[in-house]
Amino acid sequence: MTIAPLSDLAVLPGLSPVQMIGIPLALIGAVFLSLGAMYQHRGVSKVEAASGTSGAAGLNLKHLLALLSRPSWVIGTAMLGLAVVMQLSSFVFSPIIVVQPLGVVSLLLTTLLTARAIRQRLPNVKIFAVALCIIGVGAFVTVAALFAKERAISDEQVATVLVLLAVVVVVFGTAFCFLRKRFKALIYVLGAGVIYGFVATLAKITINRIQHDNFEWLTLICLVALLVATGVGGYFVQNAYASGPPDMVIAGLTVIDPIIAVGIAIAVLGEANAAPWYAFLMFVVSGAIAVTGVFVLERGQTDAEVEAVRRNAVEGRGTQDAQGHRHDTEARVIEQ
């Protein structure tokens, strides 16, 4: 049996060796995403505690300005910035339907860190939910890696993405204005996930058109839309932190976000045009499994756990567990 040289692998179905570089970059970005979410959640919780008001119905301008003075929130934002850099770098090498779903790794890491912070063993429902997310996204990435093909993006495709984004922003903006007092963490997470799915797509479009020497007014509009969508999505994320624990937020961002981005890549950008019919069936089934995991995770969140995570964020790492028992050195000294 002869082994094909590395240079010949590019003609085989799936990714070329150069395109594989995007995968480790996306995984590094997932780690920064997890750590950034933990720190940002801590900052939001401290701002709420200091102001004595909840941001669950929508963070106001006072909340947002106060976040800028919280070191934990600033550190978290910097880490999220590094996550974005890694994500954009992965887009340079790989199709979006391959690297975008790999952010689900941050869901596993965030869930473990959250449980450790409140000294609680992961309940079976959370283990099951995270397993569904990882299995669903893992199957999705495997199929995508086998059949994804990147191509130049036309003006018509760019215009379609921009129109869809405008519709999404209007829908979620209207819902927020009239229903924000009834919003729960899941709604904020869904909104952020959908909008960030478009952000990832716009970033990929911009990179793709620059690579194909096609930077003109429509690409510039993409950049402006990308910045606007990033701001809107970021506001939804901060509201989600005010309504629930960080692992719930990350679940939406690493499952809903890539499903939207990949859906656009398949339906609009044509990255899976060469895939057989059974690949599309696998996309639907694996995506449904991953989304089910998000809903199971949301249903498995208890009020006691949400409060314990918030207490820990405000009072310090390891301060209290899910039952409210103190574990830090200061508490032991006081008890003695």
- 232 against 309, higher pLDDT: 232
Q: Is 201 exposed, middle or buried (0-12, 13-18, 19+ CB in 10 A)?
A: buried
> Has residue 309 got a pLDDT over 70?
no
Evaluate whether 45 touches 70 at the Cβ level (below 8 Å).
Answer: no
Which of 111-125, 216-230, 251-265, 319-333 is predicted with the least confidence, judged by mean pLDDT? 319-333
Query: What mean pLDDT is predicted for residues 204-215?
Result: 80
pTM for the predicted model, two decimal places: 0.71
Query: What mean pLDDT is predicted for residues 106-123?
Result: 76
The pLDDT value recorded for residue 182 is 67
> Has residue 14 got a pLDDT over 60?
no
Q: Domain range for residue 45?
A: 15-94
The set of residues, in sequence order, having a beta carbon less than 8 Å from that of 311 and lying 6+ positions away, is: 319, 320, 324
Residue 225 covered by a domain: no
Confidence band of 310 (pLDDT split at 50, 70, 90): low
Q: What is the pLDDT of residues 21-58, one digit of tens each?
A: 888 898 898 889 888 888 888 888 777 777 665 555 55
Residue 115 covered by a domain: no
**326 by DSSP, 3-state: which?**
strand
Residue 174 covered by a domain: no
Residue 80 covered by a domain: yes
The pLDDT value recorded for residue 238 is 80
Query: What mean pLDDT is predicted for residues 168-194?
Result: 77
The first and second tokens of residue 316, run together, are 């310090």
Helices assigned H by DSSP within the chain: 22-51, 61-67, 71-93, 96-99, 105-117, 124-147, 155-179, 185-211, 217-243, 246-267, 277-299, 303-315, 329-335
Q: What is the pLDDT of residues 252-292, one digit of tens each?
A: 777 788 778 878 888 888 877 777 888 888 888 988 888 88
Total structural domains within the chain? 1
Residue 194 covered by a domain: no
Confidence band of 321 (pLDDT split at 50, 70, 90): very low
Residue 333 covered by a domain: no
Residue 147 covered by a domain: no
- 11 against 171, higher pLDDT: 171
Evaluate whether 222 touches 158 at the Cβ level (below 8 Å).
Answer: yes
Please state, rounded to an integer, the average pLDDT across all residues of the chain.
Answer: 75
Residue 153's region, left for phi above 0, alpha for psi from -120 to 50, else beta, is: beta
Find the distance separating the first CA and the last CA of the chain, reported in whole Å.
74
The pLDDT value recorded for residue 212 is 76
The pLDDT value recorded for residue 333 is 29
Point out which residues pair with 326 in neighbouring strands.
Answer: 320
- CB burial of 64-83 (b: ≥16 within 10 Å; e: otherwise) equals eebbeebebbebbbebbebb
How many Å separate Cα 21 from the centre of its chain? 21
> Has residue 191 got a pLDDT over 70?
yes
User: What is the rounded distance in angstroms from the CA atom of residue 187 to the CA atom of residue 31?
Assistant: 24
Query: What mean pLDDT is predicted for residues 306-316?
Result: 61
The first and second tokens of residue 26, run together, are 């996306």
**14 by DSSP, 3-state: which?**
coil
The pLDDT value recorded for residue 208 is 80
> Has residue 4 got a pLDDT over 50?
no
